Amino acid sequence: MPDPAASGWGGAPAPSSFPDPGRSGPLDSSVAADLLKRGQVLAEQSDWDLAAGTFARVVGNSDPALHTAALLGLAECRYRLDDEPAAVQAWLSATQAPENELTWRAWKALAMARVRSNDLAGAARAYREAGQRAPASEQAEIQSRVGWLSKELGDDTGAERAFGRTRASERPQPLLTYGILAITAIITFTAGFEDSDLLELLRLDKGAMYFDHEYWRLLTVALVHGSFIHLMFNMYALWIIGPIVEALYGPWRFLSIYLVCAAAGSAASYATSTSFAVGASGAVFGLFGALIVADRVHKPALTRNARNLTMQIGMLIGINLVIGFSVPGIDNAAHVGGLLAGAALGFLLVPAGATLGTFWSRPSQEAASLSGPAADPNARGKPLRWGGVAALIGVIVLVIAMSPITYEPPLWWLVAGQPVTLAETVGDAVAIPPRTTSVIVSGHGRVVLPGQWEVDRDSASRRSIGSFITQRQAPPGSDATAQPQSTVDGAARDGIVSTERIAA
């Protein structure tokens, strides 16, 4: 049997090939379906009177789907002929027919008619009936209209629920969140939790940033962690919060928020400590900040679970900050830096889709007929918002540029193979006793060994400390020799920075 639910008007046989609609008596299913096709062809040709008569011939058929399809076609013809009351009566009759695959269409059409007559409460009820029967592919549009009508009726709670269902019905899988989780876990386990070449390359080494300008560490710090527990805490938090933020902003803006917050957390850590840092907490705190501020300012449409989680974020942030300030070894500066950057981005960037604050869509022409076309509030002020984002990035750069840490750890040298502290502060030049056999510089400035060796830290590579001890002309009769030594112990090996590691 041909599908009467097909709504397209093209591709049907020529009218002359259809049965005569004037024939009296019951119609079997095949004849009724052919008449529906004839009505579609006539409607496509704008012959609304003849099309209405053809559809009317099928009304009352024993097949509920054919009966409903005929009523829908008849209602459309009456509407095109400016007979709105007759069209509404046909749509209402279709909603009262036995349930079938077209019933939701009848409720949706009736809802649109209620909107045109300014019966918003009746329209909302009809759209809810349609939503209970419509396929999944139609839910986003229907729930959006329910949300808009609820908003117009002053029912913010109902609007929030409807917009939440809209978001749930159209929300894609958070593939980028899962990708970040997988990449971070793989790199962390590959680098390990103790010193390794990969860990040394990726961690937030403030000395390498200051002297060697290795600014990629602002971001790569989020890929390595100090322990398995550290990794699990951060990845669990990302697994919970990431899908919500990605759904609100889309994958690419979500990635931008994550990276900017990671950089902001690293900048805050760089400005306040000389210790190494590892971890993605700055980025994760940034996501928390973005969500909590966006929820307060823009009131995005969230699912119930997301809404419940969002209500607890403030408490979770407070607990974590208290722990961070109370327990040594936690880089709370990175937490605060990421949190503030995320809060700024949550304020500046409007979530995509429906919101209760600054954006809710009027989904079609029947809605626009009540109060005119709806302007997109995202378009107005967009340059100002993105200017704010650029200013935030500028602040991060300024923090890095204006707060080079004064690296003044001890200067170490070897006496009989044992490291000994020479001075707590490295000045422009320090004289080293002749008995010194090798030297490690842990600080910046210029260190001169008597008559023979010179160390210029500013032009040196941190990872090859022995290579920048350069021999000068030894004084006559001097038998002093110096053997460059690139590793002595942790403090000397790590050169200009403290060996303490803090978890971000």
How, if at all, do strands 276-278 and 501-503 pair? parallel
The terminus-to-terminus CA distance of the chain in angstroms comes to 66
Please tell me the distance from the alpha carbon of residue 371 to that of residue 212, in angstroms, as a whole number: 61
Structure tokens at 502: 């803090």
Catalytic annotation, residues: 281, 335
Q: Do 408 and 398 form a contact (C-beta atoms < 8 A)? A: no
Beta strands 439-440 and 501-503: pairing type? Answer: unpaired
Count other Cβ atoms within 10 Å, centred on residue 171.
17
For tokens 């936690």, the residue is: 330
CB 48 within 8 A of CB 77: yes
Q: How far apart are CA 486 and CA 489, in angstroms?
A: 10
Do 269 and 299 form a contact (C-beta atoms < 8 A)?
no
H or E stretch at 418: strand 418-423
Task: Please name the amino acid found at residue 266.
Answer: S
Give the whole-angstrom CA distance, residue 275 versus residue 331: 9
- 20 by DSSP, 3-state: which? coil
Give the Å distances, CA to CA, from 200 to 337, 441, 463, 489. 23, 19, 10, 16
Express the helix, strand and coil content of the chain in percent, nearest 5 each.
Answer: 60, 5, 35
Spatial strand order in the sheet of 453-456? 446-449, 453-456, 469-471
44, 9 in Cβ contact below 8 A?
yes
Compute the distance between CA of residue 485 and CA of residue 469 in angstroms, rounded to an integer.
Answer: 9
Nearest to 474 by CA among 447, 434, 440, 441: 434
